[in-house]
Structure 1
Amino acid sequence: MKEFRVLDREACAALDAEDPLRSFRDEFVLPSDVIYLVGNSLGAMPRAAAGRVARTVEEEWGKQLVGGWNSAGWYAQPLTVGDRLAPLIGAAPGTVVVGNTTSIAVYQAVAAALRLRPTRSVIVGDVTNFPTDNYMLESFGREIRDFTLPLDEDVAVVLLSEVNYRTGERYDVPAVTAQVHAAGAIMIWDVCHSVGALEVDVSGADFAVGCTYKYLNGGPGAPAFLYVNHPDAENVLSGWYAHAEPFAFEPTFRPAEGIRRFTVSTPHVLSFAALEAALDIWDRVDMRQVRAKSISLTTLFIDLIESTTDLQLVSPRDPAMRGSQISFRHPDGYPVMRALIDKGVHGDFRAPDILRFGFAPLYIRHVDVYDAATTIAEVLDKELWRDEKYTQRLAVT
C-alpha cells in the first residue's frame, strides 16, 4: 500500500483542535464505529430531534389535540419555518415556503415560470441534473434543451442545480443567473446539494428549490422548500392551504397574498418538528466557517486518496468549482462501496461507476478524513470488494 505524502493523523488532529465548529459535532448522533460521509444524501440526526418530535407527539398532539393547529403553531409552519430557512439561501423574510417535496416544488416553479413567459416555449435543463428535475421537466410536454450559452429568444425557463449530485461540480450562480436574465428567461436553481454546505445566495434568481434532509439534517423525508422572487408568479397547484381564506370554505379558489399562495396542503407536523430541531443548530452557525472547513476537508481527502490509490478523481480539483462532496471513479464502484460500508466508511454509489463522499463540516473532522482514506486504501489494496456478497444490489445504493 502506498504511503501518505500529505498530513499525518497527528497533524489532522491538530487542525481539529483549532476548528471553530468543533463543538457542533457533539450535537449529532454519530455511531462510534462509523465514519459518515453521506451527509449529502441524509444528514446525521441532531440529538435534540428525538426530544423535539416526542414533545410534538406527547405535549402538542397528545394534550392539545386539534387545538395544536392554533396553540402549537402548526398552521403557520410552512411560513415560519420558511423564514428561519431563508438566511441559509440568501433570501429575505416572506419569500420562502416549506412543505411538500422537492419534485413538487420543481413543478410549481417551472409551471409558474412558463406562465410568466407565455410567448416562449422552450425549457432548458441540464442532462446531468438529478433525474427528478429532468423527469418533472418532461411532464410539461415542451421542447427541452441541454444548458448551453448563449440562450435564444425561445427559452422560457432554465433549471439548474448549483452543485451536481454526481460530481460535486458547482455553477457560478450570480454569473449564470445574469446571463439567463439577459436572455429574457426565468432562472430556477436547485440547491439541494449546496444548502447547508456552503454560502448559498439565490436572491438574484426568480425561484429556487431545495430539500432539508441532506446537509440541513432535517431527517428522512423532511419537507422541501420553495423560494419565490417574482410578484406576478402564480401557483398552479391551487390547494386549499393557499386560499386567501382557507376556513371560509369557498366553492372557488382565491389565492392568498405573498408567499403563502405557494403552499399547497396540510403540513406534515411531525416532520416539521425534526426540521425545527435542526434549524435550532443552524441558527448558530457561521456559513463562512462551514465553507472554509468544507474546502479543507475535501482538499485533504483528495490529497490522501490520490497518494494511496489509483482512483480517478471526478470532482473539480479547484475548490471554488465544487461543493462539499468528492467523487471518484472505479469500474467496480458498487461492490467497492459495499465493502467500505462494511469497514465503517459510509459513502454511496451513483451509477455507473461513481464512489461519492459527502463532507458535512458540522460533524466531520480531519481525523475522520484521514481514517476514511486509510480504510479506502486498505479495501482497494487487499481487494476486499471482490467478495461475492458485495455484488448483490440493494434497493438503495
Structure 2
Amino acid sequence: MSDALLARATDLDAADPLAPFRARFVPTSAVSYLDGNSLGRPLRSTAELIDDFVRGQWGGRLIRGWTDGWLDWPLTLGDRLGAVALGAAAGQTVVADSTTVLLYKLARAAVDARPDRRKVVLDTDNFPTDRYVLEGIAAERGLTLVWIETDPVTGVHPEQVAAAVDSDTALVLFSHVAYRSGWLADVPEINRIAHAAGALTLWDLCHSVGSVPIRLDEWGVDLAVGCSYKYLNGGPGAPAFAYLRRELQGELRQPIQGWMGHRAAFEMGPGYEAAPGARALLSGTPPILAMVPMHANLDMLAEAGIEAVRAKSLLLTDFVLDLADEWLAPLGVEVVSPREPRRRGGHVTLRRAGFEQLLEPLWDSGVIPDYRRPDGLRIGPAPLSTSFTEVYRGLAVLRDLAGKQP
C-alpha cells in the first residue's frame, strides 16, 4: 500500500497547478515542513525586498520615507489584504500591532459601544490570547463571561451560540478556524444569530487567512483580527491586521489613543481627536520594516487565487487523513479534526498519548510538525509551499517513530 500511496502523491504533484509556486520559497533543509499553519516559510523575493528597502528606501530616503508613503502602508496594505484574502472592500482593514493588541482594541471598543449590555460570549477551547484578553476586559468593565463548552475535536456550533446569547449580550468572539482541531465555523449563521440578539461579532482569522476563503463583507462580520506570519508568510512576529465594518466606524472607539490614530497626527496638538475611518484603529508608529514581506506575499496570493489555494489545501489534508488511516490508526493514533471538507480548515490534528516525546526525534529526522497539548500533533501543509510527496515523507517518518514508541 505504501507504494500506492507514494504513487498517488507523485500523481497529485504532477497534476498540481500551484506546484510552480514552491520554487519561489527559500530552500529548506527540512525533509518535511508541516507547520505552515504556525509559521510560513519565507519567499526568495522577501529577502530581495528587505535588502532593497534597507539599502534604497531606508538608507537612501531616510526620514523622508515617511512622506514617500510609509505613513499610508497600514491602510494601503490593509486594503490590499482585504481585496486578496478577506473579502473586504477598501477602507475597513488596517495592518498594525500584534493580534493580541488589536484583539484588545476591538473587543474593548465593542463592549464600550454596548454600555447597557453586560455579557460577552466565547468558547472554552479558543486560542489562549482570545480568552485571556476577554478575561481582562471583563475585569476592567465589570462584565460577565458566558462560556460555551466546545469539543476540542470540533468547535463552536450555531445551536450553542443561540442558546448562549440574549438581550444582555454585547459581544461574541470565536475563531473562524479552531487552532487545535481545524474546525471551520459557520460564520454567516453565527453572525445572524448574534445580530438577532443585538450583539456585535468579533472573529479571529489567524488560522484561516491565506488558507480559507473569507468574505467579511458578505457575511456581515462586525470586527475581525488576524496575523500575517502563518499562511501569509510574513515572518516571525509579523504585524497583525484588524477589520472594522464601515457602518460601525465612528461609533466604535478603540481605547489605545496614540498619535497615529489622531485626525492630524503631525499637528501634535492638545486633546485626542480620532481619525475618520479605519485609521482610528492605529495607535503608535507603524512597524514599517516588518510590513515589507507582505507586499510580496499578497502579490503571490493574488496570483495564485484563494480558491485555488483552498482546493489544494483540501487535497493536502485529505491525503493526510488517508495516510493517517492507513499507517497511524493501527498504531493507536486518532484523528481529532473534522473529516467533512466544508468543516475543515487547513490543518489536521493527530492525537496519541506520548506524542510529545516524538517531537525531538521528528525534528532530528528533518520532519517539523506542530505540537499542542494534550498529545496533539498538528499537520499543517501550506498549499503554496508544500508538495504531496513532502507530506508523504513526513508522515512516513512519523509512522516509523510511532511504531517504535513503547
**Counterpart position of 2:237:** 221
Q: Using a 3 Å threshold, how does the CA distance of structure 1 residues 259 and 343 change in structure 2: closer, same or farther? A: same
AA at the equivalent of 1:143: T
Aligned: 1:143 with 2:139: no
Q: Is the 8 A contact 1:38 1:347 kept in 2?
A: yes
The structure richer in helix per residue is 2
Looking at structure 2, the residues matched to 308 and 213 of structure 1 have their Cα atoms a distance apart, in angstroms, of 31
Query: In the alignment, which residue of structure 2 is the partner of 1:12?
Result: 9
Between the aligned partners of 2:337 and 2:120, the Cα distance in structure 1 is 27
SS at match of 2:349: strand
Instruction: Give 2:108's aligned amino acid.
Output: A
Task: Read off the aligned partner of 1:360 and give its amino acid letter.
Answer: A
Partner of 1:84: 80
Conserved? CA contact 2:29–2:366, under 8 Å: no
Correspondence 1:194 to 2:208:
yes
Identity %: 40
- Cα deviation for residue 382 of structure 1 reads 2.3
| Per-residue deviation, 1:68 | 0.9
Match of 1:114 in 2: 111
Q: TM-score, normalised to structure 1's length?
A: 0.93
CA distance in 2, matches of 1:245, 1:70: 14
By how many angstroms is 1:17 displaced? 1.3
Tell me which residue corresponds to 2:184: 170
Aligned match for 2:221, one of 201, 205, 209: 205
Question: Retained in 2: the 8 A contact 1:213–1:221?
Answer: yes
What amino acid is the match of 1:80?
T
> Aligned partner of 1:48: which letter?
S
1:295 equivalent to 2:291? Answer no
Q: By how many angstroms is 1:278 displaced? A: 1.6
Distance in 2 separating the partners of 1:324 and 1:331: 23
Number of the residue aligned with 2:157: none
Tell whether the 8 Å contact from 2:161 to 2:190 is kept in structure 1 after alignment.
no
**Aligned length, in residue pairs:** 380
- What is the identity, as a one-letter code, of the residue corresponding to 1:81? L
Cα 1:7–1:106 change in 2 (3 A) is farther
| Number of the residue aligned with 1:337 | 359
By how many angstroms is 1:10 displaced?
A: 2.1
- CA distance in 2: counterparts of 1:11 and 1:159, whole angstroms: 40
Residue in structure 1 matching 2:40, options 33, 40, 43: 43
What are the superposed Cα offsets for residues 226-262 of structure 1, whole Å, 9 maximum, x if unpaired? 0000232212211100110011111100111111111
Q: In 1, distance between residues paired with 2:327 and 2:29?
A: 25
- Partners of 2:5 and 2:379 in 1: how far apart? 20
**CA shift for structure 1 position 283:** 2.3
- Aligned-residue offset at 1:30: 3.3
Match of 2:152 in 1: none
Contact 1:30–1:44 (CA under 8 A) maintained in structure 2: no
**Conserved 8 A contact 1:189-1:202:** no
Q: Which residue of 1 aligns with 2:350?
A: 328
SS at match of 1:270: helix
1:315 equivalenced with 2:337 (yes/no): yes
Distance in structure 1 (CA, Å) of the matches to 2:189 and 2:4: 36
State the distance in 2 between where 1:357 and 1:341 align: 14
Give the letter aligned to residue 404 of structure 2: K
Match of 1:237 among 245, 256, 274: 256
Query: 1:95 maps to which residue?
Result: 92
Query: Hey, what does 2:377 align to over in structure 1?
Result: 355
Please report the RMSD computed on the Cα atoms of aligned residues, expressed in angstroms. 1.3
Partner residue, 1:62:
59
After superposition, what is the alpha-carbon deviation per residue over 1:275-324, rounded to whole angstroms, capped at 9, x for unaligned? 22222212212111111111111011111112112311111111211101
* 8 Å CA contact retained: 1:255, 1:261: yes
The CA distance in 1 between the partners of 2:178 and 2:195, in whole Å, is: 22
Q: Where do 5+ consecutive residues of structure 2 fail to align?
A: 149-159
* Residues 173-184 of structure 1 mapped to structure 2, 5 A cutoff: 173-184=187-198
Alignment deviations for residues 144-167 of structure 1 (CA, whole Å, 9 cap, x no partner)? 112333211111000100111111
Shift of 1:98: 0.4
Candidates 265, 278, 285, aligned match of 2:297: 278
Is the Cα–Cα contact under 8 Å of residues 173 and 202 in structure 1 kept in the other structure? Answer: no
Alpha-carbon deviation of 1:338?
2.2
| TM-score for both structures, normalised by structure 2 | 0.91
**Structure 1 residues 259-268 or 146-155, which shifts more?**
146-155
| 1:78-101 Cα distance to aligned partner (Å, 9 max, x none) | 101101100211111110000100
| SS of residue matched to 1:355 | strand
Q: Distance in 2 between matches of 1:113 and 1:268?
A: 25
> Within 2, Cα distance between the matches of 1:355 and 1:338?
13
Q: Secondary structure at the match of 2:105?
A: helix
* Kept after mapping to 1: 8 A contact 2:31/2:394: no
Work out the CA distance in 2 between the residues paired with 1:56 and 1:138: 40
Q: Secondary structure of 1:118's partner? A: coil
How far did residue 20 of structure 1 move?
Answer: 1.2
The runs of at least 4 consecutive aligned structure 1 residues that moved more than 6 Å come to none
Residue 170 of structure 2 corresponds to 156
